[in-house]
Structure 1
Amino acid sequence: MDNSINKTAESFKFIGTTGVLTIEEDYSEEARWKQMIKRVARNKGSVFGFVMIIFISFMAFAGPLMSGYEFDQQISGHESMAPRIPLLEKVGLFDGSETLKTSTGELVVNKYETLAGGEDVYHWFGTDVLGRDLFTRTWMGTRISLYIALVAVIADVLIGMTYGMVSGYYGGRVDTIMQRVLEIINGIPSLVVVTLLIIILKPGLLSITLAIALTGWIGMSRIARASMLKLKESEYVLAARTMGAKDFPIMYKEVLPNIFSQLLIMSMFSIPNAIFTEAFLAFVGIGIPVPMASLGSLISENFKSLTTHFYMIVPPVLVFALLMLSFNLLADGLRDALDPTLKEV
């Protein structure tokens, strides 16, 4: 060691804290739900999906009140009228005119001009071949789709989650029997189930609700069972069992909070499938009976006028596509936010 340098008290100078740059770091732990919201907010697709779901839900309940028409109101003389929207008509957009193809060429027709008092008549999405306002019927049909989404979530949570957790927790013979029953139910196509329910019950919303409730929870039960098989031998579960906790408190207080994120994601992905199932059943003619409307039945009815009045099919198709896309985008964002493998270290 070099001792040639003599250090005295005068060799050091106390500078205090003035002029010293310090960095303060806050290491306080943030709540998990706040972290999830921030992760979802960083995903532009999930934000778009959430906003669109809120907007569509609002229009589904407020839209029929805005038009001034009833969903089953048939207005004589208003058959097959093109969309007409206030203010936009002044710039040549949605002014009620449509181009019809005839044997001699194309003909521009505006039925509002030939209608008595037509200057004060507005159909924002036009009317169908029976003179019913499509704006009102489209948003009434959206209510049915949102109702089906709610039924799918309730069936997943009440039936699928409970069935899968019980099967995975007890295992052995109980698990074997429950899984064989599940395979039998899954082996019956949903179309057959709906057809049988329509034979027993009247065609309508009740039969479709029961069909989705009977078959829509199978995917959720499998996810819940797999998660339960993975976690039921964990240390905290064994500790709770050692302290005398009963089976159901262990399932719902110890295991469920640790698999809730996976079940939530699965529920979100099951919603588009349920909406599509209802739309498919309505399209093939075994869905909501007239004069009630769903997005699927509107697409089925207006598909017949696609070549002559294409505007009739556009609103239900766009709302249906946006609803399906929004739920999928939101589910993707929740999966990214709740996936433990994607958390920052």
Structure 2
Amino acid sequence: MKQHRGRHRRRKRGRALRGVLAATALALTAAATMISASQATADRDPGALKPLTSRAELNTLRLHEDLVPERTLDRLPAELGRPVGVGAVLDDAEGTLRDPADCTATERAALPVAPAATHAYCWDTADTRGLRSGAVTTSGDADDDGRWGENRVVLSAWSGGKGSRVAFVDANDLDRLRYTWVRLAVPTDDGRDWRALRSAVSGMVWYQDKLLVTARDGLYVYDMHRVLRATGADGPRFVMPAVGAYRTAGERPVGLSLDRGTSPDSLVARGGDRLWRYAFSTDPGRTGLLATGDATEAYATKAEGPGGVLSYGSRWYLTQPGEQRGLLWRQSTSGAEATRCGSDETRLCWSRKTASLSYWQETGEVWSQSGRTLFSLPLNTIDRSLG
């Protein structure tokens, strides 16, 4: 009987949250019709993607790999603390995300107008003070069954004066998301010391046992088996040291996502007016690492950035920031379409600013965040709202 009452409470709670999201969507739809004419000019159609084929253009995207020696990584536990698994991090949760009913009006206004979010949460104001939100990735990227071991996990990147960190969010119960902070670090002095990664993380992908994050000087690689329980360090109780880095000769990736619609799976990147992809290595001794060398595909886009990027097969989805509302474009070599705010022609109906898009293939959902608001919605609702 107790279990039955628990399920009943969850159903009522789920209906209440859906009601809040529906009411928020209606309010945002009404607000979208009041967008000023001056902002409406921002939804300029970027047109079709232009394939890049010249050797000079492709050379700027050529990827170089620099892995940290094993002996350096083996010294780090003596400086930072003992290794633990992702499960141990989730079990040591230190915060809980707020439901939409407990979010402020400003936080709810960060949600897309259309299509509407099906799940939404807000970060603790005090816990994120002085931090800037960044990219999102999930265990749906890590493994095609959507889990890391027995857990469903969302990773959310943040940056601030003391360096970058990632919130490991326990997403096993979508009615109650709990999280733990993990600091991102870079080994120094052959593993005898370390420094905090001090860079905005606007792109992040968790693939197999590796986490790739954007930084000012390239892509850093982290190993999910090398999360360390910090001892004697200020800040988060857990630290991840970088195990390598990738750099290009020219354009720097700002947005990242995973595409499981290619063979092999590929990393999608966005930087400046360029979109491109790298194949992941199929070498069993290089799990989660990229196949170095040339990009396997590259395009020029006129969609204004910076913003998130997502690719699934030949479809590319790009977010474009705006003053009040942003845009979400689906672009291909044939043209571009934007999500609509309803029956009218208004296209400025996406969140004002989203750094990344992450597709959880097992559930069919896209995860993103804007400011202190984390949300998800089905990819097929994005496709249906295009016009």
TM-score by length of 1: 0.24
TM-score by length of 2: 0.22
* Higher strand content, 1 or 2: 2
Question: Which one has a bigger Cα radius of gyration?
Answer: 1
